A and B are shown apart, each in its own frame.
Chain A
């Protein structure tokens, strides 16, 4: 993978032309990519952007922060890694250090009062798929929970749906599941035959009963890095994996793949903590993240899908099958109902712990 920390020093245009993903679609840039309003002049202002660190944040820096700095003159300082407790502590204390933060959808929905409303006079979200726009945040990337498999282990027997994954005869040995209640509940129900449109409100008891049938054939991972390990090393043949994680190791040569049937989409939102000292600059920053060019860059680097449909014009052919919002993949999956989890996460997490102890 190109070392994005080095790339961060280059301008976006130079990056595009020197990167491995230079594409003929540079020509198409002109037609779709200009945002509706000219970039504001924010020379002398600054803001702090906090995200999850590693190559993800490095990609965000190259795709969002640097173009933003170039077009507005503002200074974007990187901080992180993101920590729910740290964010919460600083907002509750009254003057958060971070001005723009990358958070998961469940976190945003469960903690809406920690964030500022977006000022849609400044933020132009008109070009975005409105399913990914929230009064307090813009979808930064869309990703998905997929059925993952190691082709060396399963051979020709590629899993087609979650019921397959739960089938211990078809796939003896262990499968890798996520140690969180979401989306394990949705997955268990789908494995039990429930159609995606009938899932919510979730029949929790039924989901737990289904999980009971295979609970001894599961390796539970609480870190996504461990999930990559499990698949790469062939410790498991099938299981659940984040599409970006599978893309990462697949690109590096590991026999790990995803099945798009029954995928569950999720979003990372960019939000502004309440009371952020540079909230206004952050509002302008949202425009940089909504920009189609920038989104295409993110997609080409890490296979995290754009929320701006116009970005697809610049996306590499080879990356397209990995994107959760490509037409084909989007049709095969559904968006997780974060509002359901906002209301039930606290209670259901306790039930999850209870079930694990049993």
Chain B
């Protein structure tokens, strides 16, 4: 039995289903609670009500902070991906011992406890006038997400056959063309993974954003944190549900766009 493909395939299928349940469980609970008619968080909810969605949409703060989160997330993810991929490429080619040291430095934001990073960056950003600015938050998020891009792309580069690039060069391709036509397509799963990582991490980031934001420039995570201090009611469940729907929508749009452009829906 253990030698049969079917067995392993079936086992994988079971794991996949269990995984999806595991990942989705909190979200399903959240969804149910968001329609609760009770005034406080309780499960199962006593009845159905749209009051929390009403409360959320009536409060412009939520749409404003959500939009701020998006305004931070997209530029930060793009910059982190570009810088991180470039760094990964360079580091995969450098043979000297410096490569390890530089790699360590670039991965450092991952290892340093986030409260220290937050306090440190807050200190200098204040001096540089970046406190409470969108730009400051974007830079901070690039710093925090770059290590993810770097490590993901590096993993892929480790199995990348350098000779393919050399072959392209031998055929007369200039470096940028060789990269664009040969390397990039082959490492694209990693680059896209990295960018996706950067986006979700930026969206979910709390501590550094807490230090760097003000009520006027504030991502939705900080707003939720600020609210929970006093309001333990299902408003946050409504918000979480909306965020989930928003991300579902984005994913479907992405799938649709790929199909339209004729490219295989790879990632």
Contact = CB atoms under 8 A, between A and B. Distances in A.
Interface of A: 1, 3, 5-6, 52-58, 77-81, 83, 85-86, 89-90, 93, 97, 224-225, 228-229, 232-233, 248-249, 252-254, 302
A93 B211 CA distance: 14
Contact of B214 (A79, A248, A254): A79
Q: What is the interface residue range for chain B against chain A?
A: 20 to 34
A56 B232 CA distance: 12
Interface stretch (B5-13, B65-73, B118-126, B242-250): B118-126
A152 B61 CA distance: 37
B215 interface: yes
Given A52-B230, A54-B227, A252 B40 contact: yes
Contact of A56 (B118, B215, B230): B230
Contacts of A55: 230-231
Given A225-B228, A252-B38, 19 more contacts: A3-B55, A54-B227, A56-B230, A79-B215, A81-B226, A85-B211, A86-B210, A86-B211, A89-B119, A93-B123, A93-B126, A225-B232, A228-B232, A229-B41, A229-B232, A232-B40, A233-B43, A249-B40, A253-B39
Which 6 A-B pairs have CB atoms at the shortest separation, nearest pair first?
A54-B230, A53-B226, A252-B39, A55-B230, A56-B230, A81-B226
Contacts of A6: 58
Q: Is the interface of A mostly helix, strand, loop or mixed?
A: helix
Given A5-B59, A233-B42, A249 B230 contact: no
Contacts of A56: 229-230
B232 A248 contact: yes
Contacts of B35: none
14 contacts: A52-B229, A53-B226, A54-B226, A54-B227, A80-B215, A81-B229, A83-B211, A85-B118, A86-B211, A93-B127, A97-B126, A228-B41, A232-B42, A233-B43
B203 interface: no
Contacts of A224: 229
Interface in B37-71: 38-43, 55, 58-59, 61
A224 B42 CA distance: 16
